[in-house]
Chains A and B, each alone.
Chain A
């Protein structure tokens, strides 16, 4: 590693990675704020990213110029709004190498994963009562004793929905354990993936450990037994170039607000043709083909899964976020973050009493770095950092079982995005040392 362990605080904003961070930061008004009387250093982008002007402007412009309900009404504004919504779908799909008809807008990634888990529940319930299902829906019908495989590094959003599905159907939840260095322990994968495995659902990049999981071996095992694969890509889509064709999974879920977009919108992508085999999730207006008092039939996807008036302005705004990221180039975004990650791993490792929870090197690792400090609770570390204007996440990061696996109640997590630079890493490392001094543990 060529970079120094603790870069000089004088490092100008804008150094490194091929991104012009200094001029890029000007597009994020919030970054000029002071917090607790100090300039904000935002190191919590894994929780939610900040938003550039282009994204804010897109949402406002939609409301000022084109606002109307989509997919209904024949007036000009309704046409414009519908076009804007569908163009946004094409942009977001294109961002991950997908076709727009395979992408459903959801409220967030949590809802996208629930859409899939409820597909299994709804297909199972309807099949048990002999009700009509779309052709090909058998793959979603579960029997008692079928198995769902997750991992011990899942965000609660990719764990609790599957636990609930198991409770309701009699399916059995199994999970892949973790190694001490923060990787999936695939040593017993042949016992974990069985002829009863129906779903393999796992995180692409862990929000707490930073680990990037290679989908290939899990996809191959799943294919061999006919199980479908769900990928939680919340922490990967915003941070690296991705293409669904090379990932090989059946479903991919992610959120908009972690990739410069607004809150209230996420996406579910499904392998071409798969959505058509699925019964609906939320039901009501917009998702029907025809409705009679005796019963209803449902629209083709993706509308089948977008009941009610959707989040049009947010979709348009997310489309603008895609434009911004594409303009910078995802290769550059990724490189930039990896250089900050390397600095962070090296800087924190050089502080006595600090332990990284997760991989300690940058291979197959992203820019969310969790750590614990001997003798200090993460809340107290976070409070001292906050006092210096540094925003980090403290707690279990909605990955409580992962914390337990590593014997820690919680961690402090720093996470990066395009607007961070080496001076932020230096401030973090110095802040952690200050916390140690304040509490007298060093």
Chain B
């Protein structure tokens, strides 16, 4: 195997792929979304539960889906990153993650901010796989926005 392949499939990613954290759809939830990567057919169904208040806490992110190691590992990392965080904190993290994924390998991610998600910097060198890594994150952003615009609980 080349270094290139190993830089993409870092051990952290393979670990999350083999042992996904937080997987499975749970109750209660405020919003559920279904996102698909139309180029490869990868799918994720994702639910979010937010607390009340102006900067709510993400109380739960639950998900189920099928896809490649990158999309599945990314959803698992997302769960760990988002669960229990203030919304504003996760939104900043999401922006940093997106910036890293669009950096074509040139990003210098802040490990303090992104945690395990920094492992995906190698994936950003492969444009065709960037969408795989972003699938769960885009789904959570969508679910949050639906939850915030939905009727009050």
- Contact surface of A with B, Cβ cutoff 8 Å: 36-37, 377-380, 383-384, 387, 394-396, 400, 403, 409-410, 434, 438-439
A384–B5 alpha-carbon span in the complex (Å) = 7
B40 at the interface (CB under 8 A from A): yes
In the complex, what's the smallest C-beta–C-beta distance from A11 to chain B, in angstroms?
Answer: 24
Determine if A438 and B68 form an interchain contact, defined as CB atoms under 8 angstroms apart: no
Q: Given A383-B129, A395-B41, A439-B14 in contact, is the A409-B9 Cβ separation under 8 Å?
A: no
In the complex, what's the smallest C-beta–C-beta distance from A370 to chain B, in angstroms?
Answer: 13
Contacts of A395 in B (CB 8 A): 39-41
A400–B7 alpha-carbon span in the complex (Å) = 31
Determine if A396 and B40 form an interchain contact, defined as CB atoms under 8 angstroms apart: yes
Most chain B CB inside 10 Å of its own CB: which residue of A37, A377, A396, A438: A377
A396–B14 alpha-carbon span in the complex (Å) = 24
Determine if A396 and B41 form an interchain contact, defined as CB atoms under 8 angstroms apart: yes
Contacts of B40 in A (CB 8 A): 378-379, 394-396, 409-410
Contacts of A403 in B (CB 8 A): 41
Determine if A377 and B1 form an interchain contact, defined as CB atoms under 8 angstroms apart: no
Most chain B CB inside 10 Å of its own CB: which residue of A378, A379, A384, A403: A379
B69 at the interface (CB under 8 A from A): yes
Which residue of B has the minimal Cβ distance to A388?
B2
**Please, what's the 1-or-0 string for B128-145, where 1 marks a CB less than 8 Å from any CB in chain A?**
010010000000000000
Contacts of A380 in B (CB 8 A): 68-70
In the complex, what's the smallest C-beta–C-beta distance from B7 to chain A, in angstroms?
Answer: 11
In the complex, what's the smallest C-beta–C-beta distance from B8 to chain A, in angstroms?
Answer: 7
Determine if A383 and B126 form an interchain contact, defined as CB atoms under 8 angstroms apart: yes
In the complex, what's the smallest C-beta–C-beta distance from B11 to chain A, in angstroms?
Answer: 12
Contacts of A410 in B (CB 8 A): 40-42
A377–B8 alpha-carbon span in the complex (Å) = 15
Contacts of B91 in A (CB 8 A): none
Determine if B5 and A383 form an interchain contact, defined as CB atoms under 8 angstroms apart: yes
Which residue of A has the minimal Cβ distance to B123?
A383
B10 at the interface (CB under 8 A from A): no
Determine if A36 and B4 form an interchain contact, defined as CB atoms under 8 angstroms apart: yes
A396–B1 alpha-carbon span in the complex (Å) = 27
A417–B39 alpha-carbon span in the complex (Å) = 24
29 pairs, CB–CB < 8 Å, chain A vs chain B: A36-B2, A36-B4, A37-B2, A377-B67, A378-B40, A378-B68, A379-B42, A379-B68, A379-B129, A379-B132, A380-B69, A380-B70, A383-B5, A383-B9, A383-B126, A384-B1, A384-B5, A387-B1, A387-B2, A395-B39, A395-B40, A395-B41, A396-B41, A409-B42, A410-B42, A434-B1, A438-B5, A438-B9, A439-B14
B66 at the interface (CB under 8 A from A): yes
**Please, what's the 1-or-0 string for B17-44, where 1 marks a CB less than 8 Å from any CB in chain A?**
0000000000000000000000111110
Contacts of B129 in A (CB 8 A): 379, 383
In the complex, what's the smallest C-beta–C-beta distance from B49 to chain A, in angstroms?
Answer: 27
Contacts of B132 in A (CB 8 A): 379
Which residue of A has the minimal Cβ distance to B70?
A379
Determine if B4 and A439 form an interchain contact, defined as CB atoms under 8 angstroms apart: no
Please name the 3 residue pairs, one residue from A and one from B, whose CB atoms are nearest each other, closest first.
A379-B68, A377-B68, A395-B40
Determine if B41 and A400 form an interchain contact, defined as CB atoms under 8 angstroms apart: yes
A383–B4 alpha-carbon span in the complex (Å) = 11
A253–B100 alpha-carbon span in the complex (Å) = 44
A36–B125 alpha-carbon span in the complex (Å) = 12
Contacts of B43 in A (CB 8 A): 409
A394–B67 alpha-carbon span in the complex (Å) = 12
In the complex, what's the smallest C-beta–C-beta distance from A398 to chain B, in angstroms?
Answer: 10
Determine if B4 and A409 form an interchain contact, defined as CB atoms under 8 angstroms apart: no
Contacts of A438 in B (CB 8 A): 1, 5, 9
Most chain A CB inside 10 Å of its own CB: which residue of B14, B40, B126: B40
Contacts of B69 in A (CB 8 A): 377, 379-380, 439
In the complex, what's the smallest C-beta–C-beta distance from B75 to chain A, in angstroms?
Answer: 13
Most chain B CB inside 10 Å of its own CB: which residue of A378, A394, A409: A409
Which residue of B has the minimal Cβ distance to A381?
B68
Which residue of B has the minimal Cβ distance to A394?
B40
Determine if A383 and B41 form an interchain contact, defined as CB atoms under 8 angstroms apart: no
A379–B68 alpha-carbon span in the complex (Å) = 6
Contacts of A394 in B (CB 8 A): 40
Contacts of B68 in A (CB 8 A): 377-380
In the complex, what's the smallest C-beta–C-beta distance from B73 to chain A, in angstroms?
Answer: 11
Determine if B41 and A387 form an interchain contact, defined as CB atoms under 8 angstroms apart: no
Q: A395-B39, A410-B41 are in contact. List 13 more A-B contacts (CB 8 A).
A: A36-B2, A377-B69, A379-B42, A379-B69, A379-B132, A380-B70, A384-B5, A387-B4, A396-B41, A409-B41, A409-B66, A434-B1, A438-B1
